[in-house]
Amino acid sequence: MWRNLKRLAVAILALSVLVAPALAQEEIFIPMLVYRTGPYAPNGIPAANGFRDYLRLLNARDGGINGVKITWEECETQYNTKLGVECYEKLKNKGPKGAALVNPYSTGITYQLIPRAPIDKVPIHSMGYGQTAAADGRVFAWAFNFPTTYWSQASAFIKYVGEQEGGMDKLKGKRIALVYHNSPYGKEPIPTLTVLAEQYGYDLQLLAVDHPGQEQKATWLQIRRYRPHWVFMWGWGVMNQVAIKEAAAIRYPMDRFIGVWWSGSESDVVPAGKDAIGYKAGNFHGVGTDFDVHRDILKYVYNGNLAEAKANNFGEVLYNRGLVNAMYDTEAIRTAMRKYGNRAVGGEEVRWGFENLHLTEDYLKQIGFGGFVRPIKITCEDHEGNGPVFIQQWTGETWKQVSDWITPMREVVRPMIEKAALEYAKENNITPRNCAAEQ
Amino acid sequence: MEVLNSLLVGPLRDIVSAPVFFAEVVVGGLMAGVMYSMVALGFVLIFKASEVFNFAQGAMVLFAALTLVGFMERGVPVGLALLAAAAVMVALAVAIERVMLRPLVNQPPLTLLMATIGLTFFLEGFGQLLWGSNVKELDVGIPDRTFDVGGMLLNQFDLVAAAVAAVMVALLAVLAQKTTLGRALRAVADDHEAAMAVGVPLKTIWVTVWSAAGIVALVAGIMWGAKSGVQFSLSLIALKALPVLILGGPHLDSGRHRRRSHHRRGGKNRRSLLGAAGRGGHRELVRLRAGDGLSAI
Amino acid sequence: MIYRETGQFKTSYRRDQAIFPIAQDRWFVVAALGVAFVVVPLVANEYWLQAVLIPWLVFSIAAIGLNLLTGYAGQLSLGTGGFMAVGAYAVYKLTTAFPELNVIVVFLLAGLFAAGVGILFGLPSLRIKGLYLAVATLAAQFFLIWLFNRVPWFFNYNPSGTITMPPRTFLGVMVTGPEATATVRYLVALSFVVVFALLAKNLVRTNIGRTWMAIRDMDVAAEIIGIRPLTTKLSAFAVSSFYCGLAGALVFSLYLGSVETLAFDITVSFEVLFMIIIGGLGSILGSILGAGFIVLVPIFLTNVPRLFGIEVPVDLAKEVEAMVFGGLIVFFLIVEPLGLARLWQIAKEKLRRWPFPY
């Protein structure tokens, strides 16, 4: 008993020493909050692999970013907010300059970290999730959610539907149902869809599905009765697979069923088998492996071993999303280096890098992302960049892009974002920055 | 007035105006209930034998389904994989009895509940360790076509699920009501010590019951897994099935015995927290009651 | 040898009834408090405070609350998460509506709100008990979470439904919000735990506490000797919900800073129940130890591989951690089914006879 206690004490001591291990000076540290276990692991694994592989590629091909090596450490969150906070606290001061940035990979964790970011000086990049209002950089100086937000996506969906129906004026009298995960994440598109419903005269029905979403019979019976022309879904995890099955069970036409970009990966459709063929989803980056960056990863990271790459989800939608995320983050670091020099940069400098990120078509081609993502420019006011969205469709084998890039309705979304940001600022005693003065 | 109208009159009007839809809702609700009942059945089995809520039932569903899919992925034919998965569940039951239940004989129900929580963590970790956390497609060849009956959409899969659930309920009802094993099982539920004293082999009973619960979990895992794919979330349905179980009543007869003697509880008040308080301390050991109905399973 | 009460004579009723009648116990408690209040803030880094100690403290209060109801009054409840949510949302509504109101007062008021809700949902306990009561409280859990999820008034109509604690000061020091340091938040949480643990410890020795235990041990007999089940059970629900509401308020404002209803879902109710079972039913110390076990052990296990300098993939580490954690729970139950508090008691007994056990 006593020996055990002593061992425990020694272990605890060792633990507190280990919290700050020595790292070489010239390294950039990126914490990775991942979920490779638990209910959302099917989504978390490919995203984490993609992110990791891009960092590996940079280290292997270019020796890091502008010659500065990248280090990273994974921490398992199980998509659980409390574990996520613990991970963040553990990793935020690691590396010679602390964490360069953080990707929460969960809306709940993002909400936790946004107030902490200005204190800890760690910029947050919640790519296509998190708090939509963070697109207003005047209030949310430390949070970035480019290339696009849920609200923009919702407006892009409406645009797509209008186009399919043969004109935005045809939306009048159409019925649209939104099936959403009953959480802050799932509620995100509601304000936008409601505002647009008034503008275009379509009817909107909201159907909440409670976590985790394995039982949706009642929801789909309601849809069967309502007979919507289109169904949108803001789903996550097991909810997606069940929804697709249930939609098939009521014979809902799959090509009129559009999921959010978190409901459109291989793991969402494969378990539903052939029922899922025709199902659509939004996306903001290329699908497949036909890009320069993929060829490089195969060459430098996997030494040409395609089977091993495939085992690491190579080319899946969420793998590609991890890649894109890592690219944006490392490019922000590179931008920061242009100002501060080719050395390890800290959170504060990376924040500047994010805010001045400008990726042109030519440059994207250079780094292997030609045709993979759209050019983007982030400014002090605009942390979203208003990146366009496209619709992809499941063929039974692969996802296929079936629409052009759709530009969201910025004129509708942006005022809403600014309003929400101002409300947040008021509630939390934040004075919005004056961006004109900062330039 | 408006509220009353929408609460009381509205639904009735809807029923009259859309009778087919109403029927569909009823059928849909029944089908959903059947799915949950398959999980709840596992709870009831173990509750009957040890007066304890097996919190790990959900984890067992996950573990069983993962094992089945794991075997199938490695090229084992469906039938064989089913048998193998069932065998694994029996082995698991033996291990649980050995390691966990035997040292905890005659402990208060809340302690046993806590032990099953420990088991939950263990099984969730072990299952993912063995078979991975990724979602897996499960197709054991159950027909899954939708057909039309007088405007109502019915799904073959749901009907199969209902049939399977009915067969399981019937089998277990017979087991509990008509066999010596069932009688012994209920005796154990009443009082571990007393059951042992009259010669009920506690060990065998528990292994049998946990094996049965494991196989029920396997069936539930197949049914739920065919819908959503086999993934960690299977473990979460147990929490949703819990209210189903309790509303149905793990044993309806407790009400009749509420005022029966409570003498055992005098000195051992802790053990009465969940168990004796819930069942009103009914004491009959071997006597069977006719008409216990569903709750006797 | 060192832990022996020989020679400590109790010459007054007051001394005889002290919470810690043995001098060594008093010294120990004083020393422990000294460490907690002075040494820990000086030594611990932000990770320890924020990710380990603060959650332990706030969940200790919830565990004490549930232990009063389940361990002392014998009423099984699965509504803890719901009552905690009441506390959290009450804090949010109160402090956004009355920003000048002292934040400590807001916490206490939030507890009172929860107590009111607790009384309401405790009413069924007059007719049903045991498992069936657990279901009634489960209904409370689901209803309350549903309410906070669906009625936008509770989260001030913001689009996401997430509530965020605004910055508030107490005695000129920032207590909540992102700028409050972890040390301050730790000290506030610790003060609440100390005050309310002592309060609970005293409460169970009063008339009220004794009636709770009488009802727990045998309700019919208690009724016969003149204890009114109505007031007894409802007071247990009220006090317990007060503690749970307070804990919810602290989880929201000191620990997480912003929450959605998922932070108080059914798994929290179960988690708190695990805490009191593993800690020991009917023991205040047990509640705190149990909360420590459930909060600390997983964190400790996560960091074990790194202690030995082994690089383990995170998924593997997490899976093994779950298995070990589960195994530990079963192991502790087999060693001592009555919880950690009982182990502590046994240790003390042993210590009295040390070094000459007979």
- 3 state SS of B147: strand
Q: Are A141 and A162 in contact (CB under 8 A)?
A: no
CB contact under 8 A, C334 and B104: yes
**Average pLDDT estimate for A115-139:** 90
Q: Which of A1, A4, A19 to mutate to test the interface with C (most CBs of C within 10 A)?
A: A19
Whether the bond between A212 and the residue before it is cis, its omega within 30 degrees of 0, is yes
How much is the pLDDT for C333? 87
Q: Which of residues 210-249 of A touch B (CB under 8 A)?
A: 212, 214-215, 217-218, 221, 224-225, 237-238, 241-242, 245, 248-249
- Domain ranges in chain B? 36-296
Partners of residue A224 in chain B, C-beta under 8 Å = 21, 24, 153
Domain around C102: 45-353
Q: Is the pLDDT of residue A15 over 50?
A: no
What was the pLDDT predicted at A176?
93
Q: Tell me if C50 and A19 make a contact (CB, 8 A cut-off).
A: no
Which CATH number fits the domain that encloses residue C131?
1.10.3470
Q: Taking the mean position of all CA atoms in its chain, how far away is CA A273?
A: 26
Using 50, 70 and 90 to split pLDDT, how confident is the model at B241?
A: confident
Contacts of residue A12, Cβ cutoff 8 Å, sequence gap at least 6: none
Concatenating the DSSP letter of every residue in C172-226 gives TEE-SSTTS-HHHHHHHHHHHHHHHHHHHHHHTTSHHHHHHHHHHH-HHHHHHTT
* pLDDT at site C76: 86
**B6-B12-B15 Cα angle (round to 5):** 125
How far does CA A370 lie from the centroid of its chain? 20
With bands split at pLDDT 50, 70 and 90, how would you rate the model's confidence at B18?
Answer: confident
Query: Among B125, B246, B266, whose Cβ lies nearest the Cβ of C326?
Result: B125
User: Does the structure show a pLDDT above 60 at A249?
Assistant: yes
Tens of pLDDT, residue by residue, chain C (358 residues): 677 777 778 888 888 888 887 888 888 889 999 998 888 888 888 888 888 899 999 999 999 999 999 989 988 888 899 999 999 999 999 998 888 889 999 999 999 999 999 999 988 888 887 777 887 888 888 899 889 988 889 888 877 788 888 888 888 888 888 888 889 999 999 999 999 999 999 999 999 999 999 998 888 899 899 999 889 999 999 999 999 999 999 999 999 888 888 889 888 898 899 899 889 888 899 999 999 998 888 888 888 777 777 777 888 888 888 899 999 889 988 888 888 888 888 888 888 877 777 6
- Range of lowest pLDDT (B208-212, B259-263, C27-31, C267-271): B259-263
Please tell me the predicted confidence (pLDDT) of residue B287.
Answer: 32
Nearest to B100 among C216, C274, C330 (CB): C330
User: Could you give the residue ranges of the DSSP H alpha helices within chain B?
Assistant: 2-4, 10-17, 19-50, 57-73, 78-96, 109-131, 156-178, 180-190, 192-197, 202-228, 237-248, 275-279
Q: C48: distance to nearest CA of chain B, Å? A: 25
Average pLDDT, chain B: 76
The beta-carbon contacts of A61-64 under 8 Å, at least 24 apart in sequence, are A61/A296, A61/A300, A64/A28
Please report the residues numbered 93 through 132 in chain B whose beta carbons come closer than 8 angstroms to any beta carbon of chain A: 128
**pLDDT at position A25, please?**
59
Sign of the alpha-carbon dihedral angle for C304, B111, B122, A47 = negative
Residue C203 has what pLDDT?
92
* Contact (CB, 8 A) for B47 and B54: yes
**Tokens, residue A249:** 């069970």
**Chain centroid to CA C233: how far?**
20
> The dihedral of CA C12, C15, C21, C23: what is its sign?
negative
pLDDT at A2 over 50: no
Smallest Cβ–Cβ distance between C322 and the set B110, B125, B266 belongs to B125
pLDDT tens digits along A17-74: 444 444 445 889 999 999 998 888 888 999 999 999 999 999 999 998 998 999 999 9
Question: pLDDT tens for residues A131-147?
Answer: 888 899 899 999 999 88
Nearest CA in chain C to A83: C51
Each residue's pLDDT tens digit, B29-87:
888 888 888 888 888 888 877 777 788 999 999 999 999 999 998 888 888 999 999 99
In this complex, the residue of A37, A217, A271 whose CB is nearest that of residue B135 is A271
Nearest C-alpha in A relative to B145: A249
Q: Taking CB atoms and an 8 Å cut-off, how many pairs form between chains A and B?
A: 93
**Is A15 at the interface with chain C, CB within 8 A?**
yes
Give CA torsion, residues A262, A191, A427, A89, to 10 deg. 0
Q: Does A69 touch chain C (CB under 8 A)?
A: no
Contact A51, A74 (CB under 8 A): no
Q: What residue of B is the nearest CA neighbor of C70?
A: B273
Q: Does B136 touch chain A (CB under 8 A)?
A: yes
Q: Are A356 and A378 in contact (CB under 8 A)?
A: yes
pLDDT of residue B280: 32
Greater confidence, B102 or B149? Answer: B102
Structure tokens at A172: 């009048």
Name which of A16, A18, A75 is nearest C314 (Cβ-Cβ).
A75
Subunit contact B266:C217, Cβ cutoff 8 A: yes
Cβ contacts (< 8 Å) between C260 and chain A: which residues? Answer: 108, 111, 183-184
Q: How far is CA B76 from CA A399, B73, B139, B140, in A?
A: 30, 7, 13, 12
Q: Which of A14, A37, A111 sits opposite C258 (nearest CB)?
A: A111
Is the confidence at residue A9, as pLDDT, over 80? no
pTM score? 0.85
- Comparing CA positions, the residue from A76, A72, A44, A74 lying closest to residue A59 is A72
Chain A residues in contact with B38 by the CB 8 A cut-off are none
Q: Mind spelling out the 3-state secondary structure of C78-135?
A: CCHHHHHHHHHHHHHHHHHHCCCCCHHHHHHHHHHHHHHHHHHHHHHHHCCCCHHHHH
Chain A residue numbers touching B24 (CB-CB < 8 A): 221, 224
Residues in chain A: 439
- Do A332 and A356 form a contact (C-beta atoms < 8 A)? no
Q: Domain count of chain C?
A: 1
The whole-angstrom distance between A237's CA and the closest CA on chain B is 8
Rg (Cα) of chain C, in Å, rounded?
Answer: 21
Helices A292-300 & A41-57 angle (0-180, nearest 10):
80
Name all chains with 3 or more CB-CB pairs below 8 Å to chain C: A, B
C13 domain-assigned? no
Is B156 an interface residue toward A (CB < 8 Å)? no
Question: A30 in helix, strand or coil?
Answer: strand
Cα C356 from chain centroid (whole Å): 37
Which stretch of A314-328, B1-15, B41-55, C72-86 has the lowest confidence by average pLDDT?
B1-15
User: Chain A closest CA to C48's CA: distance in Å?
Assistant: 9
A376-419 pLDDT per residue, tens: 999 988 998 878 899 999 998 899 999 999 999 988 999 999 99
CA torsion angle for A323, A328, A334, A335 (degrees, to 10)? 170
Indicate yes or no: CB of A249 within 8 angstroms of CB of B32.
Answer: no
Domains, chain A, ranges and CATH? 21-148+290-377 (3.40.50.2300), 150-283+390-410 (3.40.50.2300)
* pLDDT for residue B31: 83
Which of C74, C323, C337 lies closest to B126 in CB terms? C323
| CB-nearest partner of A42 from B36, B231, B240 | B231
Residues 52-71 of B with CB under 8 A from C: 55
Print burial letters for C46-60: b (CB count within 10 Å at least 16), e (below 16): bbbbbbbbbbbbbbb
pLDDT of residue C129: 76
Distance from chain centroid for Cα C333: 20
Q: Indicate the pairing of strand A399-401 with strand A390-394.
A: antiparallel
Task: Over range A279-308, report the average pLDDT.
Answer: 91
Give pLDDT, residue C288.
93
In Å, how far from its chain's centre is CA C205? 19
What sign does the CA torsion over B227, B228, B231, B234 have?
negative
> What single letter denotes the amino acid at residue C53?
L
- Cβ of C325 within 8 Å of Cβ of B121? The answer is yes
User: Is B139 within 8 Å of A237 when comparing Cβ atoms?
Assistant: no
The complex's ipTM? 0.85
